[in-house]
Structure 1
Amino acid sequence: MDINKRVEEIFDELVHIRRDFHMNPELSQQEFRTQKKIQDYLNEWGIENYVCAETGVVGLIKGKSPGKTIGIRADIDALPINEKGDHSYCSLNEGVMHACGHDAHTTILLGIAKVMKEMADSEDSINGNVKLLFQPAEETIGGAQRMVKEGCMQNPTVDYVLGLHVMAYIEAGTVELKYGKLNASTDSIKITLKGTSAHGAYPDKGIDAITMAGSVITSLQTIVSRNISPLNSVVISLGRISGGVKDNVIADEVNITGTLRALDDDTRNYAKQRIRDIVTNTASAYGGQGVVNFHDGYQALINNDEVVDVVKENAERLLGKKNVVFKEFPSLGAEDFSYFSDVAKGAFFHLGCGNKERGITSLIHTDTFDIDEECLKTGVRLQIENVLSLLRQS
């Protein structure tokens, strides 16, 4: 099969699919229409599929001969953003928008599914299997983890997994790759500082939790500046603080919440321990008590070099070396594709969807985000080539 020709032939259909999803966005854990549309397409094309993680879908394309199994992931949920724009395919759901490009990711995976099913049914067929991972709730609770727990990477076992994300700061027709560390882990921090209340006129009779909080906040900044190498990116951001009941009463409790982001588990665990030590010991020095609770978020996303090599080779051949760029520094943003790549060798890359000449430059998570739909063709073509290359891996 001439893959380039076939992708060109189905491009109008892909645009229709993407615009339909864009007009009908659904929030995390509410992706029921999106799920039904995905299953309708897979059923129409004769692709085995089943529901996973309540609102997700897993599809399976089997080759005529045994071999490896390659997983491809697309997230499907939207964001609580009110879209601003005048194009014909603006969101019809007020306050909900595909502002992170998941409509494009879903469409690309459906395009891959359509073409690869045709290949699997042809005389030449393929050796092995392709697993289609339509993942819900990327923007909130981490649907990838739920899908993995429900067995999406088993029966058959996924050997390699691929994912992508559209980015408008990159021109359509270009991809951005990175070896190794790509995205950070995320943990929520909750700090509770307890003192003793007293009248504001007699502060010596109490233990001031606000004073305690001031020292804790200042000291926590030294973890990044003095305890961890400046060559190792870590973020400790405190976003909210609350405490006290009245202007002339010494506060007996202060609560502080924030986020911790790191690029590997060793640094992540070390930073957690330092936060606990500083909070506990600082509070104790003031005569109070300090308690820290962490809520674990996404794992750090670390690409497998072997799989990145495959993507690089295919991208340079299809797009030209000048259209394959490498990301210099990892992002401290989160990406729950890491749950898939913790189970199988994986690579995640960025697909250019911008077009400066047409004014398509808005970043993800903004109310004017859009894509140059030519990126759909690039995504489908490249991922198919990646799958075929990985199926041939010894």
Structure 2
Amino acid sequence: MCKRSSKYMKQRIEELFPQVVAWRRTFHQYPEVSFQERETSKRVAAHLESLGLEVLTGVGGGGVTGLLRGRHPGPTIALRADMDALPIQDEKDCAYRSRVPGVMHACGHDGHMAMLMGAASILTTMKEQLYGNILFIFQHAEEMLPGGAKSMIEAGVLEGVDAIYAVHLWSPLPTGYMSFRAGPMLASSDVFTVNIIGKGGHGGLPHTTTDAIAVASHAIVNIQSIISRQIDPVRSAVISIGSIHGGDASNVISDSCEWKGTVRAFAPDIREFLLRRIKEVVHDTCHMYGAAYEIEIRKGYPPLVTNHMETARLRKVAEEIVGKDKVEEMDPLMGGEDFAYYLNEIPGTFCFIGAGNELRGITAPHHHPRFDVDEEAMKTGMELLVKGAIQYLQEASLETNRPTLLASYM
């Protein structure tokens, strides 16, 4: 994209920015948790319809899509934003704090929607010059298993789509920076629940009982050794126990002990090995101490693995926007994201947009009651979405011997 078109793009973003902030703040004030994004999806759909896009609602249960058809035939690129909030009380002191008790946008999804709505507004004005199509995906339920991406894919949202991009506002990274990684980027995220069933009794007569808490303790320690002694140290994985409960009195040996945990891995083979070994360790430990058990494993999101070509393509656009010195190579994170489902189906990439600002006190981590984003970061995210979509259509059209798009802007 030439300097003239880039200047035009920044001007359009500046003009639209007050409206983007207003959208973001409205979403922030009226958040809705996973699978309940009714009013949120209505607001999104109304905007897409006002742009004259081909709009579908209820996709996969709660998703919204808007299709922008370019005047000329070509490939189709999808841009995705998530819509759901979290069951967290908003503790910020600002005019746009959540008005819904116990619910807030604590992960930036309000900004993701606003940025993509803004990108749709700008790209729609370029319809006559486009060789190809752009599908705007507003996805429900990213924060809760099984994740909205899975059901939207099953409903056919990716039919005819050649590639997909998504961005994520990221408060640990300063505004003005971006972070990419080609290949494994985020981990799988599975959860498990174990209930050890023993035989309760008097705390002073342990020999007459089967101590469920003691058995659970041994099982938990044994499970931790899977990571330290059965996984190649250079192939990262994590097992964390986040909850344990057994008994109610100090002098009574409990007859049951329930505990819950999460399993994270970057490689599918490591993931499957860990889930299998957890079952085996629980079984063998309970057998050794004469206890019974119940175990439930819920497979969550797969590892998020970005496509090397699409990551390089979008990263180049990012470098043109903020400069090479502000585009970082990130280390893999053990967090999970259901955008991984899309990347299992078609090429695409995912990146973090810096949205932290120490001078403004915007430093709280994601999923924190005081979480916020530097709204200036939405300009960067919007520009990346718009230019990234254009760059993809332009290069993909050339790769398939189609005419160059956006000739009037080049």
- TM-score normalised to structure 1 length: 0.93
Q: Which residue of structure 2 aligns with residue 6 of structure 1?
A: 12
Q: Which residue of structure 2 aligns with residue 232 of structure 1?
A: 235
8 Å Cα contact 1:83-1:96 kept in structure 2: yes
Q: Kindly provide the amino acid, as one letter, of the partner of residue 348 in structure 2.
A: G
Q: 1:64 aligns with which of 66, 71, 82?
A: 71
Q: Which residue of structure 2 aligns with residue 131 of structure 1?
A: 135
Q: Which residue of structure 1 aligns with residue 389 of structure 2?
A: 387
Cα 1:223/1:11, change in 2 over 3 Å: same
**Residue by residue, what CA displacement relative to the aligned partner does 1:158-183 show, whole Å, maximum 9, x if unpaired?**
11111111012222221111121111
- Determine helix, strand or coil for the equivalent of 1:161: strand
Q: Which residue of structure 2 aligns with residue 42 of structure 1?
A: 48
Q: 1:350 aligns with which of 352, 367, 373?
A: 352
**Residue by residue, what CA displacement relative to the aligned partner does 1:43-75 show, whole Å, maximum 9, x if unpaired?**
111111111133320111111222211111101
8 Å Cα contact 2:184-2:306 kept in structure 1: yes
Q: Which residue of structure 2 aligns with residue 160 of structure 1?
A: 163
**Residue by residue, what CA displacement relative to the aligned partner does 1:10-39 show, whole Å, maximum 9, x if unpaired?**
122212222222222222222111111111
Cα 1:274/1:90, change in 2 over 3 Å: same
Counterpart Cα distance in 1 of 2:242 and 2:257: 14
Cα 1:282/1:162, change in 2 over 3 Å: same
Q: Kindly provide the amino acid, as one letter, of the partner of residue 54 in structure 2.
A: E
Q: Kindly provide the amino acid, as one letter, of the partner of residue 365 in structure 1.
A: H
Counterpart Cα distance in 1 of 2:378 and 2:289: 59
Instruction: Return 356-365 or 167-176, whichever deviates more.
Output: 356-365
Q: 2:89 aligns with which of 68, 75, 82?
A: 82
- TM-score normalised to structure 2 length: 0.89
Q: 1:243 aligns with which of 243, 246, 262?
A: 246
Q: Kindly provide the amino acid, as one letter, of the partner of residue 325 in structure 1.
A: E
Q: Which residue of structure 2 aligns with residue 292 of structure 1?
A: 295
- Determine helix, strand or coil for the equivalent of 1:342: helix
Equivalent pairs: percent with the same residue?
Answer: 38
Instruction: Return 97-106 or 352-361, whichever deviates more.
Output: 352-361
How much has 1:198 moved relative to structure 2?
5.1
Counterpart Cα distance in 2 of 1:94 and 1:280: 42
Q: Which residue of structure 2 aligns with residue 308 of structure 1?
A: 311
8 Å Cα contact 1:284-1:290 kept in structure 2: no
Counterpart Cα distance in 1 of 2:200 and 2:17: 68
Cα 1:5/1:256, change in 2 over 3 Å: same
Cα 1:27/1:293, change in 2 over 3 Å: closer
Q: Which residue of structure 2 aligns with residue 92 of structure 1?
A: 99
Q: Kindly provide the amino acid, as one letter, of the partner of residue 139 in structure 1.
A: E
8 Å Cα contact 1:172-1:375 kept in structure 2: yes
Q: 1:147 aligns with which of 148, 152, 161?
A: 152
Q: Which residue of structure 1 aligns with residue 36 of structure 2?
A: 30
Q: Kindly provide the amino acid, as one letter, of the partner of residue 184 in structure 1.
A: A
8 Å Cα contact 2:61-2:151 kept in structure 1: no
Match status 1:377 vs 2:383: no
How much has 1:287 moved relative to structure 2?
2.6
- Determine helix, strand or coil for the equivalent of 1:33: helix
Q: Kindly provide the amino acid, as one letter, of the partner of residue 390 in structure 1.
A: Y
8 Å Cα contact 2:175-2:376 kept in structure 1: yes
Q: Which residue of structure 1 aligns with residue 405 of structure 2?
A: none
How much has 1:107 moved relative to structure 2?
0.6
**Residue by residue, what CA displacement relative to the aligned partner does 1:292-344 show, whole Å, maximum 9, x if unpaired?**
321111111111111110111111112111111111x2111111111111111
Structure 2: state its 5+ residue gaps.
Answer: 400-410
**Residue by residue, what CA displacement relative to the aligned partner does 1:204-232 show, whole Å, maximum 9, x if unpaired?**
44433333222211111101111112222
Counterpart Cα distance in 2 of 1:193 and 1:285: 13
Cα 1:282/1:14, change in 2 over 3 Å: same
- Determine helix, strand or coil for the equivalent of 1:259: strand
Counterpart Cα distance in 1 of 2:99 and 2:249: 46
Q: Kindly provide the amino acid, as one letter, of the partner of residue 317 in structure 1.
A: E
Cα 1:358/1:288, change in 2 over 3 Å: closer
Please, what is the CA RMSD of the aligned residues?
Answer: 1.9
How many residues align? The count is: 388
Structure 1: state its 5+ residue gaps.
Answer: none
- Determine helix, strand or coil for the equivalent of 2:99: coil
Q: 1:179 aligns with which of 165, 171, 182?
A: 182
Q: Which residue of structure 1 aligns with residue 220 of structure 2?
A: 217
